[in-house]
Amino acid sequence: MLTIIKPPITWILVADAKHAQVYVRKSVEKRIPIAGNAKHRRVKGVHEIELAPLLAKPLTAKLLSQYEMSRNRAGMVFESLSGTPHMAEPHLDARKELKQSFAQRIADLLNRTKIGEAFDRLVLVAPPVMLGEIEARLDEKIRCKVTTKSPKELTYYNGRELAEHLREIY
């Protein structure tokens, strides 16, 4: 009996507080000339691993200037002693709220893929705080597929450079 073994599909999420991209491993075959003359060239085939982005454009967080400032507007409060109104400062940190909403967008993207079972393993790469924010928002079914977590800031690398930095973890 012949059994076909499908290699596991691994998605690699690389994120920080402002950018996120999902990559998949891709094997690239390159032919490197070794020796010979113009008529008789010998080449050596080399397989290299690169990471190909899955999303056409990386996810980006909202800028602080785009943030809905009406949420931070001070409201009127009546003091109980004098009955005169005064302004009250809300207890919100806009930057923290932006990071949390971006972590939710990333988690929603990964959670929606569970319907099609698009990947078998998931590698999370993000700074420590963002890594915790994303992981806390993942569904249990997706969280079970997380094989590796790496608290690193690698959003500024792509392709072969990123594969070199992540070689030891996947």
Identify residue 8 by its one-letter amino acid code: P
Span 81-104, pLDDT tens digits: 665 655 555 556 778 888 999 999
Predicted TM-score of the model (pTM): 0.73
CB atoms within 10 A of CB 53: 16
Fold of 10-33+50-64+74-166: Nucleotidyltransferase; domain 5 (3.30.420)
**pLDDT tens readout for residues 28-70:** 676 767 766 666 667 677 666 778 888 889 899 887 766 655 4
Which residues, in sequence order, are CB contacts of 152 under 8 Å at separation 6+?
A: 125, 126, 127, 165
Tens digits of per-residue pLDDT, 101-132?
999 999 999 998 865 478 888 999 999 999 99
